[in-house]
Amino acid sequence: MSSNGNTAINNFESIHFNPAPRIAGMVNFGVIGYGYWGPNVVRNLQSISGAEVVSVCDKSSASRRRAHKTSPHVYVTADAMEVINSPEIDAVAIITPVWTHFELAKAALENGKHVFVEKPFASNAAQAEQLIELAEQKNLKIMVDHTFLFTGAVKKIKQLLQEGALGKVYYYDSTRVNLGLFQHDVNVVWDLAPHDLSIMDYLIERSPEALVAAGQRHLNGLEDIAFITLYFPDNIIGHVNVNWLSPVKVRTTLIGGEKKMLVWNDLEADEKVKVYDRGVDITNSEGLYNLLVNYRSGDMWAPHLEQVEALRLELTYFVECVLNGHNPMNDGAAGLRIVKILEAANRSIRKRGSLVYL
């Protein structure tokens, strides 16, 4: 059984040198990017004891005015380097389009700042590897914003898998479709699939061996609909359906296991995760044609889920990792694994769906 190395949280190495934060037990942040997601990062950082937002940067003057109105005491600038160079800052949160991640993260690391970076980590694997190496040299932390790992739903599913409640996993099948938001720099795979790929990476704890991806462009020259099938070890099959042209929003994942199966509907207010005591038992009496198929159909159970905002948990965890020198589970290596899959998906799409080995 191959492992994707997703063991940071359990087996991190003791770290000898950790750059002292400016205030003991306090991490000062500069946040670059104040568009759609940046305000959520700022709001959550401001609510965490142990974190402080010192400056916010955005190219758009409208965004800067919004930032100032909401947080009058925070320094607002259009110049990212002003944030990155600031001696007041311990960590930089990069909440910008993916094509800017590498330059910004590189500069931040070179200036001795820890990095929290929006998904996907980087535009290609080479960039991601360079950033990981740089962080290691500088003894700095990278966390890639795989927010879903910190939701009550994913944490509960992880627990069910670890306890063996589902048994051997058969498949992971996610549908993540809605109308828009079209991105200008990346296709729908790079926009939406990182969520599913990072969740699979976390839950399945193995990397896919190969994938097939197929998509189509209808409007702006980038794929707006795509389907990815992933071959994992042990006959686990993964599937991701992403679409910017759906009339309705769907966020539904089916996970089939030998013992139990579950449906995670992230749009339900309550009961997001439903676990079904359903399955199939096959008895092979004499040859293929005498297979006896028995269907089990028992109770359904919707476990109560933790209700804390995932981003708040994630940023709290980032602050802890920085302060204690721990390596986060969603570190640069995790981000790199996802970027490699995204690159492979694009390669497969370009060939109209050929098998690509990872």
Scanning residues 272 to 331, which ones bind a second copy (CB under 8 A)?
274, 276-280, 282, 288-289, 291, 293, 295, 297-304
Q: Which stretch binds a second copy (CB under 8 A): 82-90, 101-109, 267-275, 314-322?
A: 267-275
Angstrom distance (rounded) from CA 184 to CA 23: 40
Angstrom distance (rounded) from CA 229 to CA 26: 43
Strands 261-265 and 75-77, sheet pairing:
unpaired
Task: Tell me the residue type at 310.
Answer: A
Residue 1 binds a second copy (CB under 8 A): no
Chain centroid to CA 81: how far? 26
Q: Which of positions 189-228 make contact with a second copy (CB under 8 A)? A: 210, 212, 214-221, 224-225, 227
Closest distance of CB 300 from a second copy, Å: 4
At which residue do the structure tokens 């769907």 appear?
A: 250
Comparing CA positions, the residue from 257, 279, 252, 268 lying closest to residue 302 is 268
Q: By CB under 8 A, name the one of 63, 207, 241, 253 that touches a second copy.
A: 241
Q: Which stretch binds a second copy (CB under 8 A): 6-14, 18-26, 166-174, 328-336?
A: 166-174
Residue 75 binds a second copy (CB under 8 A): no
Closest distance of CB 207 from a second copy, Å: 16
Q: By CB under 8 A, name the one of 17, 184, 285, 286 that touches a second copy.
A: 184
The one-character DSSP state at 26 is B
Q: By CB under 8 A, name the one of 12, 37, 75, 231 that touches a second copy.
A: 231
Closest distance of CB 233 from a second copy, Å: 12
Residue 347 binds a second copy (CB under 8 A): no
Angstrom distance (rounded) from CA 63 to CA 222: 27
Q: How far apart are the first and last CA of the chain?
A: 16
Task: Specify the residue, 17 or 295, whose C-beta has the smaller distance to a second copy.
Answer: 295
Strands 223-231 and 237-243, sheet pairing:
antiparallel
Closest distance of CB 236 from a second copy, Å: 8
Closest distance of CB 186 from a second copy, Å: 12
In 3-state terms, what secondary structure has residue 89?
Answer: coil
Q: Are 209 and 273 spatial neighbours (Cβ–Cβ below 8 Å)?
A: no
Q: By CB under 8 A, name the one of 239, 326, 337, 340 that touches a second copy.
A: 239
